[in-house]
Structure 1
Amino acid sequence: MKIFEALRKDHDKQRALLKILLETQGESPTRQEYYQQLKDALATHAIAEERYFYAPLMQADETIALSRHGVAEHHQIDKLIAKLDDTEMSSPAWLAAFKQLTEKVEHHLAEEEREFFQMAGKALSEKEKHDLAEEYLAEMGS
């Protein structure tokens, strides 16, 4: 497996959690449970992705700007999660903030898959792609 497939697998899980959460209502146990799963998935993914995808790409001139942009988007996602954590889950403001988070995460994932992966594919050797996937999966416990 290459790093791209490992990342895409987690991206699909994040998309599924976002979709499920949009269908929940109020401060229900279901919403609380899926929101915690989403937060955990985003946090562990961001750490491992920065370590085993962005950090190696920061070594190459042609991918450093994209890597910095990706890390910056992780910080924006963190801020939106902090805003959600400070908002009452049953309020309309929570759903509005969650929709902002959904848009940001979906934009970030699509951008990675459509742009970053192609540039990274040129910057990384085949061995690096496989080694980074192994390291990423080990950190994720997959």
Structure 2
Amino acid sequence: MKIFEALRQDHEKQRLLLKILAETSGDTAARREYYQELKTQLESHAIAEERHFYSHLLEKDATADLTRHGIAEHHEIDELLAKLDDTDMSSPAWLRYLKALQEKVEHHLADEEQEFFQVAGNVLNDRQKTKLADEYQKEMKQELDTEKLTA
């Protein structure tokens, strides 16, 4: 598997969780569970992506600006997660923050898949793409396992 397929698989999980979560209401067990899963996925993905994809692309002229932009969007996503954490789930504000998060995440994923992956595909060779996918998936598993232990 190449890094792009590994990232796309996680992107699809994030899209699905956002869609499901946007259809929940109130401070329910389902909303809490889906939100925790989404938050874990987003945080783990950002860590693994930055360590095993972005870090290799910061060094390349063709991808440095796109990489910085992606990292900045990860920080914006973190800020929205913090707002969600600080807002009562039954509040209308919580749903507004969730919608903002959904828009931000979907924009970020579209940026990566429609632009960044094509440029990165030109600067990485096949061996690198496979190695980065292996490292990324290993890191994701480790991050998710760690989160389950602390939850």
Instruction: Provide the TM-score with structure 2 as the length reference.
Output: 0.93
Aligned-residue Cα RMSD (Å) equals: 0.9
Q: Matches of residues 1-142 of structure 1 in structure 2 within 5 Å? A: 1-141=1-141
Shift of 1:57: 0.4
- Stretches of structure 2 lacking an aligned partner (at least 5 in a row): 143-151
Q: Report the residue type matching 2:8 in the other structure.
A: R
TM superposition outliers: structure 1 runs of 4+ over 4 Å: none
> Number of residue pairs matched?
142
Shift of 1:115: 0.4
**Inter-partner Cα distance in structure 2 for 1:10 and 1:121:** 18
Shift of 1:72: 0.3
- Per-residue displacement from partner, 1:61-88 (whole Å, max 9, x unpaired)? 1100000000000000000000111111
Shift of 1:98: 0.5
Shift of 1:139: 1.1
- Stretches of structure 1 lacking an aligned partner (at least 5 in a row): none
**Inter-partner Cα distance in structure 2 for 1:31 and 1:126:** 41
**Inter-partner Cα distance in structure 2 for 1:38 and 1:18:** 7
Q: Secondary structure at the match of 1:89?
A: coil
Shift of 1:141: 1.8
**Inter-partner Cα distance in structure 2 for 1:14 and 1:79:** 17
Q: Report the residue type matching 1:25 in the other structure.
A: S
